[in-house]
Structure 1
Amino acid sequence: MIDHFGINCADFDKSKEFYDKVLGVLGYTRQMDFGVAVGYGAEGHPAFWIGDMNAGNVAGPNREMHVAFAAKDPGGVQAFFHTALALGAEPLHEPRLWPEYHDKYYGAFVRDPDGNNVEAVFHGGGPQT
C-alpha cells in the first residue's frame, strides 16, 4: 500500500546527520539526494524521505507530509488523480513519467484537503502509446 513517504525538517543538516546514523545501523542508506530532499532505503528504493522545510517546498504552516501510494498499473495512477480532482483536491503534477527518479517511474501528485502532498505511483512505466 505505502510506496514511500516523507517528512519535512526544520534543521535539515541536523536531520540528515541523525537519519544517516540511526538508519545506517538498521542497514539503510541514502538512495537519492536532491539537495533539498534525501531519500533513504535499500537496493535503490528510497522508501523514507526527509526534506528541508526552509527550501520553499512546504505549503502553509502545517509542515506538509508526503505519502505515495502504490498503484497496480498506470490506469490506477490516472484514476487516483482524476478522482482526487473530482473531490476538489489541488493538482500538483498530472500523471507522467518521472525519469529523474527512474525510467519507469509513473506518478501523479495532488494536495489533500489538509495540505499534504499525496501521490500515486507505478514503477512499471506509463501507459502504452
Structure 2
Amino acid sequence: MSTTRFWACSASPDSSTTVAIGYGAEGHPVFWISQAPDEGPNREVHVAFTAADSGVVTAFHDRAVELGAESLHEPRLWPEYHERYFGAFVRDPDGNNVEAVTHGGRLSG
C-alpha cells in the first residue's frame, strides 16, 4: 500500500506487517490509514488536516514533495474560502488529494 509507506516513512522498517496506522496526539489516534484485504483500488479522496499555523502548512508541503508527492497547490492564502485560510495541497502516491490548512492566515516575517 503506497500511501501507508509514504505517510509513515518513519514507521516499522518491515512494512509487510503493517495492518493499519493511526495518527493523533498524546497516544490517541484520530485518523487511520488501512487497506481492506482483497479490495481493488479506491477512488480519490480529499483529506484535510488542520495545522497550528502557516509554518506547519509549509513544512507539510515541503516534506510531502520531498517524499515524492505531487504538488497540487503550493502554500498560500485562499481568500476565495475566507481571508485567513492558508493551505497547501499535494497528491499522495495513491492519487489522493491531501491538504494541510490553518485558519489563522500567514505568519508574518
TM-score scaled by length of structure 1: 0.51
Secondary structure of the corresponding residue to residue 107 of structure 2: coil
Runs of 4 or more consecutive aligned structure 1 residues displaced over 4 Å after TM superposition: none
Q: 1:104 aligns with which of 84, 91, 94?
A: 84
TM-score scaled by length of structure 2: 0.60
What residue ranges of structure 2 are gaps of 5+ in the alignment?
1-40
Q: CA deviation at 1:62?
A: 4.6
More strand by share: 1
What residue ranges of structure 1 are gaps of 5+ in the alignment?
1-60
Greater relative contact order, per chain length (Cα 8 Å cut-off, separation 6+): 2
Q: CA deviation at 1:63?
A: 2.7
Which structure 2 residues correspond to residues 1-129 of structure 1 after superposition, within 5 A?
Answer: 62-129=42-109
Q: CA deviation at 1:102?
A: 0.4
* Amino acid in structure 2 at the alignment position of 1:94: E
Question: CA RMSD for the aligned pairs?
Answer: 1.3
